[in-house]
Amino acid sequence: MRFFTGRWLIILVFSLVAGAVQAGNDSMGLLVKTARQSENPAVRVSLLKGMLKGLEGQRKVPAPDGWAELSAELMAGDNAQLQSLARELGQIFGDEEAALKALALLGNKQAKPDDRRAALKSLLAQQNPGVKGALLDLLGHPELRIDAIRAFGKLPGQGADQLLKHYPGFSTAERRAVVETLATRKDLAGQLVAAIEKEVISPGDIPAYTARLLTGMLGERFTRVYGALREQNADKAELIAKYSTMLDLPEAGKADPVYGRAVYARLCGVCHRMYGEGGILGPDLTGSNRANRDYILLNIVDPNFDVPDGYKMVVLKTKTNQVLAGTIGEEDELKVVLNTVSGREVVAKVSIKERQTLPISMMPEGMLETISKKDFFSLIKYLQTEKQTEKPKP
């Protein structure tokens, strides 16, 4: 095992663990033994990540031989990443102490947001009932708010009252997360319709893709308050279908998300922020619905089909005949802060001669036609990641 490092080790371990889970044997004990014997933190991290990947979606799996000892050693150490991985695996193995530690970390306002985010993810994966009480508190923390919003859709029986109560004060991205979350279950979708009827949520806040989901879920009950769905350009629909079919090819499944990160930086990073890196012109993609293939393709292939008000192109012409184009970052009685490709532009309102809001996005069309199949597959693979990958090599 010492000859394998990094993601190659993760791939190898994933294959071994997947086979062990399917066979119902104790082969994972060998992986635990290997982790206990290794003194290399990177190897241990790779082993535990591989185990997590292989056990993805599993609950109450019998703990392999040696796990209790390995877990105790890792939790007593000073490597935060190994501790986090041990907590996640411990919950899968039914370790109540691991769950309690994850709940404590989630409620610790002094802990790093990424650590709290990982705790929330693991608790949700195990449907831990203790997480429900923490969600309302997390809504008060901007760095974790979108994670908390999306968590409401993953816990059966969790109502939408608090999301709707805070909705008017949420940002554009947070509002979209609320709408997408309420569209994940029929009971929540009913509350979304009621919110539209009460004018808490505007029909214009519903993205086209989400509107289609809600129409299929609720039928006339939804369209009565939303209106008729806008038809998509046939050419764009064909392109989306074409790229979706390509993503079913075997080579798409083998795409490298690390290479995809480099493609993303080149094509998308100038305008979009993801995992704390990138531009500010377009929406932050970290908390968006990136796991859904259709959602990604719709927004790349047809960026002008459904543009939220906060991301429509605004053109300002000043009294000195300077023309600026971008999206509104901030605005008050005295100034407009415009997010542009080159950064933030602060424009005093007294200097604005003309202002126009166009019903289009700043994002160009035809981007996918300019890149190779390898770049396309890798870009989509990276966009669908749940955690930041390692940096691509120069």
Q: Which positions ≥6 away from 350 have C-beta within 8 Å?
A: none
Kindly state whether residue 263 falls inside one of the protein's structural domains: yes
Residue 380 has a pLDDT of 95
Residue 305 has a pLDDT of 82
The residue among 113, 138, 163 that closes a domain is: 138
CA distance 293 to 261: 17
Both 22 and 62 in one domain: the answer is yes
Residue 71 has a pLDDT of 92
Kindly state whether residue 75 falls inside one of the protein's structural domains: yes
Measured CA to CA in angstroms, residue 320 lies from 24, 254, 313, 347, 355 at distances of 74, 54, 21, 12, 14
Both 93 and 6 in one domain: the answer is yes
Both 341 and 374 in one domain: the answer is no
Burial of 264 (0-12, 13-18, 19+ CB in 10 A): buried
Residue 73 has a pLDDT of 93
The residue among 179, 212, 230 that closes a domain is: 230
Q: Which residues pair with 331 in a beta bridge?
A: 336
CA distance 160 to 181: 9
Kindly state whether residue 42 falls inside one of the protein's structural domains: yes
Q: What is the CATH number of the domain that holds 347?
A: 2.30.30.100
Q: Which pair of tokens denotes residue 12? A: 């190898």
Both 25 and 97 in one domain: the answer is yes
Question: What is the domain count for the chain?
Answer: 4
Q: Annotate 336-364 with DSSP letters as a single string.
A: EEEEETTEEEEEEGGGEEEEEEEEEESSP
Mean pLDDT in order along the chain per 10 residues (394 residues):
48 53 60 88 86 76 89 91 90 87 90 89 84 86 88 73 89 83 83 93 81 82 85 80 93 93 89 87 82 87 82 85 82 87 80 88 82 94 91 82
Kindly state whether residue 21 falls inside one of the protein's structural domains: yes
Domain carrying residue 296: 234-303+365-383
Q: What is the DSSP letter of 63?
A: P
Residue 233 has a pLDDT of 72
The residue among 188, 204, 230 that closes a domain is: 230
Kindly state whether residue 392 falls inside one of the protein's structural domains: no
- The secondary structure of the chain in percent helix, strand, coil, rounded to multiples of 5, reads 55, 10, 35
Both 90 and 118 in one domain: the answer is yes
Q: Which pair of tokens denotes residue 168? A: 């008017």
Both 28 and 83 in one domain: the answer is yes
Residue 365 has a pLDDT of 80
Both 292 and 317 in one domain: the answer is no
Residue 128 has a pLDDT of 85
CA distance 51 to 10: 8
Both 80 and 108 in one domain: the answer is yes
Q: Which pair of tokens denotes residue 294? A: 């259709």
Both 69 and 5 in one domain: the answer is yes
Whether residue 198 contacts residue 225, with contact meaning beta carbons closer than 8 Å, is answered with no
Both 274 and 316 in one domain: the answer is no
Both 8 and 127 in one domain: the answer is yes
Kindly state whether residue 297 falls inside one of the protein's structural domains: yes
Residue 318 has a pLDDT of 85
CA distance 177 to 147: 9
Both 379 and 238 in one domain: the answer is yes
Kindly state whether residue 52 falls inside one of the protein's structural domains: yes
Kindly state whether residue 388 falls inside one of the protein's structural domains: no
Q: What is the 3-state secondary structure (H, E, C) of 172-231?
A: HHHHHHHHHHHCCCHHHHHHHHHHHHCCCCCHHHCCHHHHHHHHHHHCHHHHHHHCCCCC
